[in-house]
Amino acid sequence: MNRWLKSLLPVAMAASVLVGCATPNASVEIQGEVWFKERIALPAEAILSVQLQDVSKMDVPAVVIAELERSDVTTPAPFQFVIPSDQFEPGHRYAIGAKITLGDELMFINTQSYPIDISNQGPMSVLIQKVGR
């Protein structure tokens, strides 16, 4: 039995080293704030929607990777996404899209692109503009 234990010891030590070296999948944290210039109070029913989108393909709608919605919108409104890094495909382009709706009516939306740089995860500032009627 002693010989059996001695033969298992190197295997057990190697397994513990391998387990110790294993790292969990890294995450990408995307954070920032959405804001608008108008100094108005929005109705409590207004909904802010912030999306992380894959915008790689032209002439087709963006693919939504993650989305958050919140009511009781104030400006600036913070947002945060924590996404496993394997969700980002090499060579693809990603961006943040934001809008405020009231029922089915669009009130504010971003009018410029807010690209995501996965290697530089500093906070973003997303300006949304009032939709003309």
Contact predicate 17/63, CB 8 Å: no
116 and 30 Cβ atoms separated by less than 8 Å = yes
Which domains are delineated in the chain? 27-130 (2.60.40.2990)
Structure confidence by residue, pLDDT tens digits, 61-75: 999 999 999 998 888
Grade residue 119 by pLDDT with cuts at 50, 70 and 90. Answer: confident
Q: What is the pLDDT of residue 24?
A: 54
Reading phi first (left if > 0) and then psi (alpha if -120 to 50, else beta), residue 17 is in alpha
Burial-class residue 60 by CB neighbours within 10 Å (0-12, 13-18, 19+).
exposed
Q: With 60 as the cut, is the pLDDT of residue 124 above it?
A: yes
Mean pLDDT of the chain: 83
**Model pLDDT, residue 133:** 66
The mean pLDDT of 112-125, rounded to a whole number, is 88
Beta bridge partners of residue 30, listed in sequence order: 81
Q: Where do we find the tokens 């009781």?
A: 72
- Res 22: pLDDT: 41
User: What are 17-34's pLDDT values in tens digits?
Assistant: 334 344 456 889 999 999
pLDDT given at position 26: 87
Quick one: DSSP state of residue 62? P
39-58 pLDDT, tens digit per residue, is 998 999 999 999 999 999 98
